[in-house]
A and B are shown apart, each in its own frame.
Chain A
Amino acid sequence: MNIVALIILAIFTLAAALAAATLPKLMHAALSFAVAFVGVAAFYFLLGAEFVGLVQVFVYVGAVAVLVVFTILLTRTDAQKDRGFNWSGVLVAIAVFVGLLWAIFKTQSLAINLPKAEPLTVARIGELLMTSYVWPLQCVGVLLTAALIGALILVMEEKR
């Protein structure tokens, strides 16, 4: 794996994520959220999980980002700006990051070389989803149906 590509990708993804977390204009932040998730999908491609990368692009950039933009447009307030910023959240986030960094750099067993792996094909994933993972797959299907119906009921107009 090319380490330079990895670092460039990391800077790109984290810059977009930081923009999504801090930009005051809602629409700009929502679009940088989509860019950040394209970056995460590129990480999946780089790591050899192409199917997960594709699912990430379809679900997040294709569906969730559009849903977020629609919600922003539907809940348009007079000021399209996010007023106020809680600085104690910044402190908590930095503290958690420092703690995680300490844990990562303290762990010795992470210094391993990339093992040789046969590529994971979509046919193999489909076969697994239909054999060993058929029970979780059905559960996720039920969950998605329930979430769809629940979301529809939540936004339905109340009868007066």
Chain B
Amino acid sequence: MTSTLSILLVVSAALFCTGLLAALSRRHAIFILIGIEMMLAAANLNFIAFWRFGPQSAQPIGVMVAIFAIAIAAAEAAVGLAMVIAVYRHYRTTNVDELDQLKG
């Protein structure tokens, strides 16, 4: 009994885990950020799916949450990529394994 909603949730879970995979196993800082963006998109997909399949309320709350989440994710991406550039300037690397100066 696979419903359309289950398929959407499975797609969203797979997208989330792909983002998790990118964030955990890549060494390059930019790809950690891309993984985080993918996880946020998976959460948004869940919001939209539940909004569409849930009881229709007066206000489209799922859509509103998704719009605000996209705006906040864009702000996060801008600051994160600026940090990657700033770190690159100091250390001449974007490999997060080499940024271990604070390690005890």
Contacts and interface: CB of A to CB of B under 8 A. Distances in A.
B72 interface: yes
Interface string B28-71: 10110111011001001100110111111001100110111011
Contacts of B41: 37, 40, 56, 60
Contacts of B8: 6, 43, 47
A130 interface: no
Interface residues of A, number: 84
Mostly, the A contact residues are: helix
A123 interface: no
Interface string B75-95: 111110111111010001111
B27 A26 contact: no
Most buried by B among A77, A140, A147: A147
Interface string B4-16: 1111111101111
18 contacts: A49-B52, A56-B41, A56-B70, A67-B77, A67-B81, A70-B81, A82-B28, A84-B27, A88-B24, A89-B26, A104-B9, A112-B5, A114-B52, A124-B60, A125-B67, A128-B59, A143-B75, A155-B85
Contacts of B11: 10, 13-14, 43
Contacts of A3: 4, 7
Contacts of A44: 45, 48, 66
Contacts of A85: 25-27
Contacts of A112: 3, 5, 53
Interface of A: 1, 3, 6-7, 10, 13-14, 17-18, 20-22, 26, 29-30, 33, 36-37, 40, 43-44, 47-49, 51-52, 55-56, 59-60, 63-64, 67-68, 70-72, 74-75, 77, 82-90, 92-94, 96-97, 100-101, 104-105, 110-115, 117-118, 120, 124-125, 128-129, 132-133, 136, 140, 143-144, 147-148, 150-152, 154-155
